[in-house]
């Protein structure tokens, strides 16, 4: 499936929870399937883009992050659904963010871009969907940060959504997740080239290099590293030295390519927004906020995920089912991938979504 990314300028200024105004807010998005079909909205992970399926050209080495799930004849079938996906507010891949132009100065916002919350991100998505003419969602689904946005949208707009699928998820940001996000922010801000956020675009790179290496440890699992970089070394006098070199290569290989185009100010805004996530933050009560969700909910977590261990999905499921028995179900996928299972375990995710849709 060959796809393209487009942009849409919101008709009205966007006002954040804290009252700051984005006079000209642009949304980067992709659309698959045909207009007139029921709409599915796909949300993306925190440090990834809205490129959810297909390829931009036949030569693209990698498809979108949920290519096993979205497309003709797949579980989210583009013959049966109109599928929309949009880049989040604050993200570095085309929507309004520190990289976009501030109409008051004619220069990019940089650190002057407003502080945002997870609720701001969801309201930004809703403004986009309204302008696209979407009056109801058959489903909203996403991995990681996208799962949080999906659940938050269902809580804020309970009569707008027919079903929710959250993959690698919880009802509020987890302690370990908050800590790693603050580590990432600290690493970026402590980079000597950060300059209080007024750095030259494309720099600084020291902080980006550091957090990319830490992400390879935190967002995967020892089972993955052992299988790929340890078990391949036969036993011998120098086996540990070879394994150590493999571990070093795992941390360093391809990092320069992966951080190309990534922006520290965008990281900071997005990570702080994720840390603000709590389904009850706007009403002052977590359970009451979560129980605003009316539609069926599928929560898929991974046995080895450090960011969102399975018990966080089970906590949310219990809260929802306490008010409406059978509303939420939890599926746990055993995976070597840790948190990255949310984009690496597409076949297993698709199986659970298919069963959910056939309920």
| Edge-to-edge order in the sheet of strand 82-86 | 5-9, 26-32, 82-86, 39-42, 137-143, 164-167, 297-302, 328-333
Query: What's the half-sphere exposure (Cβ side, CA atoms, 13 Å) at 37?
Result: 17
The beta-strand segments (E) located in the chain are: 5-9, 14-15, 21-22, 26-32, 39-42, 70-71, 76-77, 82-86, 137-143, 164-167, 297-302, 328-333
Spans of the chain, pLDDT less than 70: none
Nearest in space to 271 (alpha carbons), one of 110, 108, 117:
117
pLDDT for position 358: 87
Domains and CATH numbers, the chain: 5-174+278-357 (3.40.50.1820), 180-259 (no CATH)
| 320/294 Cα distance (integer angstroms) | 9
Stated pTM of the model: 0.96
Q: What is the pLDDT of residue 14?
A: 98
Query: What is the pLDDT, as a whole number, of residue 359?
Result: 76
CA atoms of 298 and 269, how far apart (whole Å): 28
């Amino acid at each position: 499936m060959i796809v393209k990314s487009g942009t849409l300028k919101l008709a009205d200024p966007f006002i954040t929870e804290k009252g700051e105004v984005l006079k000209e807010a642009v949304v980067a998005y992709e659309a698959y399937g045909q207009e007139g079909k029921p709409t599915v909205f796909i949300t993306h992970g925190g440090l990834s883009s809205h490129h959810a399926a297909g390829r931009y050209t036949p030569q693209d080495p990698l498809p979108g992050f949920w290519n096993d799930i979205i497309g003709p004849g797949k579980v989210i079938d583009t013959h049966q659904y109109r599928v929309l996906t949009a880049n989040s507010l604050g993200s570095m891949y085309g929507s309004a963010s520190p990289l976009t132009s501030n109409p008051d100065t004619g220069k990019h916002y940089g650190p002057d871009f407003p502080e945002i919350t997870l609720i701001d991100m969801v309201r930004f998505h809703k403004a986009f969907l309204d302008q696209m003419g979407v009056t109801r969602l058959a489903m909203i689904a996403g991995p990681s940060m996208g799962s949080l946005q999906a659940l938050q949208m269902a809580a804020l707009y309970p009569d707008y959504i027919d079903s929710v699928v959250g993959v690698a998820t919880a009802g509020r940001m987890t302690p370990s997740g908050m800590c790693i996000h603050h580590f990432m922010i600290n690493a970026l801000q402590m980079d000597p080239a950060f300059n209080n956020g007024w750095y030259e675009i494309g720099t600084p790179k020291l902080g980006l290099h550091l957090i990319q290496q830490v992400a390879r440890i935190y967002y995967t699992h020892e089972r993955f590293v052992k299988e790929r970089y340890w078990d391949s070394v036969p036993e011998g006098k120098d086996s540990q030295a070879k394994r150590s070199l493999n571990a070093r290569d795992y941390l360093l290989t391809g990092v320069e390519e992966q951080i190309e185009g990534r922006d520290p100010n965008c990281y900071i805004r997005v990570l702080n927004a994720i840390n603000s996530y709590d389904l009850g933050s706007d009403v002052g009560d977590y359970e009451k906020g979560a129980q605003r969700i009316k539609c069926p909910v599928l929560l898929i977590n991974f046995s080895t995920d450090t960011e969102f261990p399975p018990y966080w999905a089970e906590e949310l499921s219990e809260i929802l089912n306490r008010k409406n028995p059978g509303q939420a179900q939890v599926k746990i996928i055993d995976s070597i991938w840790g948190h990255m299972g949310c984009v690496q375990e597409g076949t297993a995710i698709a199986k659970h979504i298919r069963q959910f849709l056939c309920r």
